[in-house]
Homo-oligomer: A and B are copies of this chain.
């Protein structure tokens, strides 16, 4: 079976319910799956997080179970019909995936066609590394290397520079330029409302708001929803 991956910038967009803006893409990605294994490790309270997602997941017919309730989380991955990794702190999330030995089981199942949904931190860990997260490094994972389901980096919640700002901290664009001073991979700056839909090796930009594509040594490029990204990210 071909790969089915959906990487959402943020679970909420202003004025809309939990994942409501992504409901149709989620339905298409899940392809009829009726149960979803949820990974809540990016937040501190796994039970509350899972309960919240189960209550508000936009597809009412899908049964949501938290991976933290499984006695063997790796086995839960191997048996899951579909997987959703939620947002929160990317460092905490990746650290836990390493601690429980979940990266390789996830890679194998996704390659074999298990639907993968990621939001925010859950989208970051789907890429080659977490080096373009916005989160604070509140703990140290053994490595910044992530699942590598796609061969580029993502910046979720991408924000355009605000010309009226009086704040002197780096803009998101400046931070990504610093990333490219040290690293090669393209970075897709996914604005809230935007998402990447992957079928097999095909990568498509979906949703609203579009994306900003950053490639080393090149000017940033504006990408609109509906664009096939493969050539642009060299994949």
Contacts and interface: CB of A to CB of B under 8 A. Distances in A.
A154 B98 CA distance: 28
User: Which has the most chain B C-beta neighbours within 10 Å: A130, A139, A168, A182?
Assistant: A168
A157 B14 CA distance: 25
Interface stretch (A50-58, A78-86, A173-181): A173-181
B136 A176 contact: yes
A181 B44 contact: yes
Nearest to A142: B140
Interface string A153-175: 00011010000001111100001
Interface string A1-20: 00000000011111100000
Contact of A10 (B135, B169, B176): B169
Contacts of A13: 168
A134 B14 contact: no
Tell me how many chains of this kind the complex includes.
2
Interface of A: 10-15, 44, 88-89, 91-92, 130-140, 143-144, 156-157, 159, 166-170, 175-176, 178-179, 181-183, 192
Given A88-B178, A131-B138, 11 more contacts: A10-B169, A14-B167, A89-B178, A92-B178, A131-B137, A132-B138, A134-B169, A137-B137, A138-B181, A139-B183, A169-B192
25 contacts: A10-B168, A11-B168, A13-B168, A14-B168, A44-B181, A88-B178, A89-B175, A89-B178, A92-B182, A131-B138, A132-B136, A133-B137, A134-B169, A134-B170, A136-B175, A136-B178, A136-B179, A137-B137, A138-B175, A138-B183, A139-B182, A139-B183, A140-B144, A157-B167, A167-B192
